[in-house]
Structure 1
Amino acid sequence: MRVSVVKSRLSAYIEGMRQTFDIKGGPQDGRAHLPLVREQLAAQKLDGLYVPHDDEYQNEYLPDANERLAWVSGFTGSFGSAFVFTDRAVIFADGRYTLQVVDQTDPDLWEVQSVPEPGPFGWLKSQDMSGKRIGYDPKLMSPNDVAQMAKAAKAAGAELVGVTDNPIDVAWADRPDQPMAPVVPHDVKFAGKAHDEKRVEIGDALKAEKLDAAVITSPASIAWAFNIRGGDVSCTPLPLGRAILFADGSADLFLDEVKVSDELRQHLGNSVTLRPLADLEKGLADLKGKTVSVDPDVASAWFFDQLEQAGATIVRDRDPVSLPKARKNEAELAGSAAAHIRDGVALTRFLHWLDTDAQSGEVTEIDAAIKLEEFRENLGGLNDLSFPTISGAGPNGALPHYRVSTASNRKLERGSLYLVDSGGQYLDGTTDVTRTVPIGDPSADMRRHYTQVLKGHIALAVVRFPKGTTGTHLDVLARHALWQAGLDYQHGTGHGVGVYLGVHEGPQRIAKGWSPIPLETGMIVSNEPGYYREGQYGIRIENLQYVTAPAQIEGGEIDMYGFECLTFAPLARDLIDLAHLTKEEREWVDAYHAKVYDLLADKLDGPVKDWLRAACMPL
């Protein structure tokens, strides 16, 4: 009986997975919805409206109710923006979505422009908009973006108008309801520290800065600070809400009342006042005369407008939760390590399947993505994906953030490369891992490029660095071998990762662009250099690793930080060109594979265990 229940649950899970590949949206949405928005523009005496992809919470993944850009245009990509005017409409998308934005918008209605150059505000600045009134929703834009847009509008001769009623929201008659998933306590055995202790420490930091309170607008910060999780957003266990943290360690937490249970009230205790989300405006007004910090990078312009009207003294400062959240404690690191080992078992079973059954040339990208999630789901404990799986065969793998759909689905053809970037959400950790494997025999170029990417990955895995080093200082290490060959990749090398939270979190990162945030003990970052040959194949190798406590190197004079690996799954031996690896690099690969086998072998059996033994043999 129990076996049949498990099979039934798995079947339902896989069917749900399959449905995600039928991407909604398309040109028909723009044709149906654009006229409705223009009616609202006329009613509000506006000539245009700026439509960002961002919602009120600046989340990476949005609830269906907040997919305004997709509703008005049909474009479902995760990054973009648009201007809707009474006589034209312009949409902006970056290189990840060059093909998708063209496929999903009506060319008779939408002009497609690029991001970041010139970008929406650069484009606006170059237009003649004399006398036009362009609306924006202050709840959807940061104050910095509003300031940039205002400058561009002035240069174009237009007036920028903040709207109270977003024309899209008014026009969207069948708009889905806002998500109302229950908010649940997150066990301290996973969190590593009680929420009241966290709040007191944050309150002490506010006192040190002579602040009375901080307005916390990031759902991830709220989830971490109060040791709670939710289900309002796909791929990330977030509760959508707001909070005010006070210098004495107490807090007001604003949540929709239907999400609140007696268990949650008991968990939060007397120092946290639960208030309906509808009371947020009043809660901000109560800060009159207080000195309050708000983070302009994650809070919308609406918060600044409300606090200014209330008579609060506003201090623009980083979210005080972001750095404590980024510095993982021992329990969080231990949980992440355990989650990655379980995840590595599922990934190893999948890599064995790729090396055997999937070599036929008949398996599709969707087949492969579903198979990987089936292996993860079979482990038990998987609560969600940490992001939609990137399953890219051949030329689709050359699109770094490709998302397979029924329309783009390709077979894993022999003589090609297959790139899979995926992860899971578990109570004790969040995973994110990329592997690139050959289907059939790889070419000499494939092996050479893979080895150059591997050299960069190794360089970033073994580096030691002094206090004050940021990810910007380290980024060149991952690119060095590629640069020496006249190659590069156009994405960051590493992003922060949460613990049963966002797979992309800051403030730390490893990238070419300047990052002011030093890497500190406990911070988790990805290590993911890549190479992408347009129209042919993509290569990326990604592990997660965390910053170790500073220690002195024998013979050295100062303490140095380093990285400890979290991700364990075999690399593609058939793609490694030994002639291009140094002795030290070969030793690193052998040591890594020895640890992979040591950690995973006892959790596998039969042909998969035999395959792992061969995959982890010394080079």
Structure 2
Amino acid sequence: MFQTFEVTSAPDQGVPRLAALRSEMADAGVDAFIVPRADAHQGEYVPASDERLSWLTGFTGSAGFCAVLAEEAGLFVDGRYRVQVRQQAAPVFTPVDWPETQLADWLLARLGRAEKVMFDPWLHTVAEIEGLQERLSVAGITLSAGPNLVDRIWNDRPAPPNAPFFAYPDDLAGATSAEKRQRLAAGMGKAGQDSVVLTLPDSIAWLLNIRGADVECNPVPLAFAILHADARVDLFCAPGQADPVADHLGPDVTIRDRSSLLSSLESLSGTVLIAPKSTPQIVADTLAAKGIDPVHGDDPCLLPKARKTAAELDGSRAAHLRDGAAMTRFLAWLDAEAPGGGLTEIDVVTALEGFRRGTNVLRDISFETISGAGPHGAIIHYRVTTDTNRAVKPGELLLVDSGGQYMDGTTDITRTVIVGPATEEHRRCYTAVLQGMIAVSRARFPVGITGRDLDALARFPLWTRGLDYDHGTGHGVGVYLSVHEGPQGISRRSTVPLEAGMILSNEPGYYREGAFGIRIENLVVVRPAPELPGADDRKMLDFETLTCVPLDRRLIDTRMLSDDERGWIDGYHADTLRKIGPLVDGPVLDWLETACAPL
């Protein structure tokens, strides 16, 4: 089913909305107000009731923020969204390249001493506010928490979500909630911690073996929790949300009203751990008001959640085979239909989601499908709408990035295909991207290596041609959880050592604005590498590729490939045919056999 975004403002609505916000700022006596694309849980995907940035500016990207001053409104976005923001945002907002330009530097260049900056303490993390406060205070600028001024003018704001939670099977999780809680509590005891405040929905879902439906495409419960050193948990959610899982949670999990979080924090004592990179500032402020100086550390669920159990890995493999068969049916259909010139980007989205739903076990798509034809493919996180819907034309590249949510696994795959004849430039750029994807797929590396250490492998074939891309090479992926999961990743900013069991994407790309975009994405899982003759005794890791879907052989320039790269492609296609072949038949199987033929 094709999905549209409901709360986006049209560009002409940006002027009166910005004017109304500035009026509220004047009444509050503040010189700047920060509007992030965030909710109180700091998730990438937020419910409609928290889409303040989109409502105000018209920009619908999954990351960014706006700093509103009396005479200027800077809209900060990273490299993924620089084309998109210029196309979507109302002209009264000035795009700012972030993180190249930091918010503190931008404010310091525009505000004078004694001026005031206001923020909503539910929507900004402790680390974010500490860093900003340190920079602004030196210049005599006041940074203060206050009410959300956007909410005062958003008269038709949607109601907050309150979807019921449901239990996630222990056999798919590979461990019971009690086992997980006892394991974390043991670690808390060793660290001298009495309680931990949990604010990330996927951490709470993982810890309690529950799921939710508060956010589209991500089966997470929008809840808070406090884990105590005796393995008890206080779970804070909207009234009635947790009733269906009360028996599943058991007597050691107390269900409380979401509105009681702050009062419960006030009753804590001893050593309290918070994660400054994900905890909202209001949590720290509430604890401080009661004389509690919280300990800063990482969310204790992050690494255990990232290290998938054997059951989770088996489920992910099964999900990828099922999804691979659906993708194969889709690509065979696309190859037959697209050359006629009658398809649009929405037709592609609708068809692909239909093939996934044809598995009869799809719970949801894992994110809104990206279907970018021709120049739209250069918009890295493009989402087609009825207004932007473009024909899929012969002679153009089509980039399709999509995924599925199944009870046993989450998938994410990108394939770029050619409709009709490819140009030499298409093939040259596609092959360079493919070489980077192969380099990561074939990587063998010592224990302790981080994603930052591997990122250049994917970029090197592009760098040698003077090309690059403005996004990370890979992100972590959950198991029937968030399709973007931390803390692991493959990027210049990823400093977390990769460990066995971590699932990541491997997705280099290249984007030529106004012309085309190319991205090739498989999911991989970190595993212990087999021993090699003559190697020393240091422990090594490598990747198992989970995704089984053919590449577009028509776009591969074999003259650019080394023998090892050619061998990897032929091996990948042989493996794909072996695994997916038994799951399809008829013309689809014929198409698969041709698509997987040796180069």
Q: Which moved more, 1:578-587 or 1:591-600?
A: 578-587
> Match for 2:500 among 521, 529, 551?
521
Q: Is residue 110 of structure 1 aligned with residue 93 of structure 2?
A: yes
Q: Is residue 145 of structure 1 aligned with residue 124 of structure 2?
A: no
2-structure distance, mates of 1:271, 1:618? 57
Q: Paired residue for 2:268?
A: 287
Contact 2:450 2:497 in 1 (8 A): yes
Q: Which moved more, 1:179-188 or 1:454-463?
A: 454-463
> Match for 1:589 among 543, 562, 569?
569
Distance 1:23 1:452, change over 3 A: farther
Q: Is residue 376 of structure 1 aligned with residue 356 of structure 2?
A: yes
2-structure distance, mates of 1:110, 1:395? 24
1:51 partner SS? strand
Q: CA deviation at 1:32?
A: 3.7
> Match for 2:188 among 196, 206, 210?
206
2-structure distance, mates of 1:113, 1:239? 33
Unmatched segments (≥5 aa) in structure 1: 1-13
Q: Paired residue for 1:129?
A: 112
Distance 1:248 1:346, change over 3 A: same
2-structure distance, mates of 1:576, 1:102? 33
Q: Is residue 267 of structure 1 aligned with residue 248 of structure 2?
A: yes
Q: CA deviation at 1:320?
A: 0.3
Q: Is residue 223 of structure 1 aligned with residue 205 of structure 2?
A: yes
Offset from partner CA, 1:49-100 (integer Å, 9 cap, x none): 1111111111111111111112223332222211233454332233433344
Distance 1:489 1:373, change over 3 A: same
Contact 1:26 1:75 in 2 (8 A): no
Distance 1:41 1:21, change over 3 A: closer
2-structure distance, mates of 1:309, 1:79? 31
Contact 1:521 1:550 in 2 (8 A): no
Q: CA deviation at 1:555?
A: 2.4
Q: CA deviation at 1:446?
A: 1.4
Q: Is residue 389 of structure 1 aligned with residue 391 of structure 2?
A: no
Offset from partner CA, 1:458-481 (integer Å, 9 cap, x none): 111122111111111111221222
Counterpart AA for 1:255? C
2-structure distance, mates of 1:45, 1:574? 62
2:298 partner SS? coil
Offset from partner CA, 1:533-555 (integer Å, 9 cap, x none): 23222211110010113542232
Q: CA deviation at 1:408?
A: 2.4
Contact 2:79 2:470 in 1 (8 A): no
Q: Is residue 499 of structure 1 aligned with residue 459 of structure 2?
A: no
Q: Which moved more, 1:232-241 or 1:70-79?
A: 70-79
Q: CA deviation at 1:186?
A: 0.5
2-structure distance, mates of 1:244, 1:111? 40
Q: Is residue 67 of structure 1 aligned with residue 47 of structure 2?
A: no
Q: Which moved more, 1:395-404 or 1:536-545?
A: 395-404
Contact 1:231 1:237 in 2 (8 A): yes
Q: CA deviation at 1:230?
A: 0.3
Q: Paired residue for 1:256?
A: 238
Using structure 1 for the length normalisation, give the TM-score. 0.93
Q: CA deviation at 1:162?
A: 1.1
Offset from partner CA, 1:363-384 (integer Å, 9 cap, x none): 1111111111111111111111
Q: Which moved more, 1:362-371 or 1:426-435?
A: 362-371
Q: Which moved more, 1:227-236 or 1:572-581?
A: 572-581
Q: CA deviation at 1:226?
A: 0.2
Contact 1:590 1:618 in 2 (8 A): yes
Q: 1:361-440 alignment to 2 at 5 Å?
A: 361-440=341-420
> Match for 2:214 among 232, 255, 265?
232
Counterpart AA for 1:36? A
> Match for 1:76 among 60, 69, 85?
60
Counterpart AA for 1:73? T
1:544 partner SS? strand
1-structure distance, mates of 2:212, 2:97? 35
2-structure distance, mates of 1:152, 1:27? 33
1-structure distance, mates of 2:73, 2:465? 42
2-structure distance, mates of 1:322, 1:106? 38
Q: Paired residue for 1:473?
A: 453
Q: Paired residue for 1:599?
A: 579
Counterpart AA for 2:11? P
2-structure distance, mates of 1:140, 1:70? 15
Q: Which moved more, 1:463-472 or 1:124-133?
A: 124-133
Q: Determine what percentage of the aligned residue pairs are the same residue.
A: 47
Runs of 4+ in 1 over 6 A off after TM superposition: none
Counterpart AA for 1:531? Y
2:487 partner SS? strand
Q: 1:477-556 alignment to 2 at 5 Å?
A: 477-513=457-493, 515-556=494-535
Q: CA deviation at 1:300?
A: 1.2
2-structure distance, mates of 1:458, 1:73? 39
Distance 1:518 1:575, change over 3 A: same
Q: CA deviation at 1:44?
A: 2.5
Distance 1:552 1:386, change over 3 A: same
Distance 1:529 1:91, change over 3 A: closer
1-structure distance, mates of 2:112, 2:55? 25
Q: Which moved more, 1:251-260 or 1:79-88?
A: 79-88
* Count of residues in Structure 1 that have an aligned counterpart in Structure 2: 598
Offset from partner CA, 1:492-550 (integer Å, 9 cap, x none): 1111000000111111111123x331111100011111122232222111100101135
1:561 partner SS? strand
2-structure distance, mates of 1:112, 1:437? 32
Q: CA deviation at 1:403?
A: 1.9
Unmatched segments (≥5 aa) in structure 2: none
2-structure distance, mates of 1:501, 1:494? 17
Q: CA deviation at 1:46?
A: 2.4
Q: Which moved more, 1:216-225 or 1:441-450?
A: 441-450
Contact 1:142 1:301 in 2 (8 A): yes
Q: Which moved more, 1:87-96 or 1:118-127?
A: 87-96
Q: CA deviation at 1:351?
A: 0.9
Contact 1:75 1:105 in 2 (8 A): yes
Q: Is residue 326 of structure 1 aligned with residue 306 of structure 2?
A: yes
2-structure distance, mates of 1:34, 1:121? 21
1-structure distance, mates of 2:495, 2:102? 24
Q: Paired residue for 1:91?
A: 75
Q: Which moved more, 1:424-433 or 1:130-139?
A: 130-139
Contact 1:364 1:409 in 2 (8 A): yes
Counterpart AA for 2:266? A
Q: Is residue 182 of structure 1 aligned with residue 164 of structure 2?
A: yes
2-structure distance, mates of 1:63, 1:271? 29
Contact 1:245 1:252 in 2 (8 A): yes
2-structure distance, mates of 1:472, 1:174? 43
Using structure 2 for the length normalisation, give the TM-score. 0.96
Q: CA deviation at 1:618?
A: 1.5
Counterpart AA for 1:129? G
Q: Is residue 55 of structure 1 aligned with residue 39 of structure 2?
A: yes
Distance 1:448 1:88, change over 3 A: closer
> Match for 1:615 among 591, 595, 599?
595
2-structure distance, mates of 1:540, 1:70? 26
1:451 partner SS? helix
Q: Which moved more, 1:415-424 or 1:73-82?
A: 73-82
Contact 1:82 1:120 in 2 (8 A): no
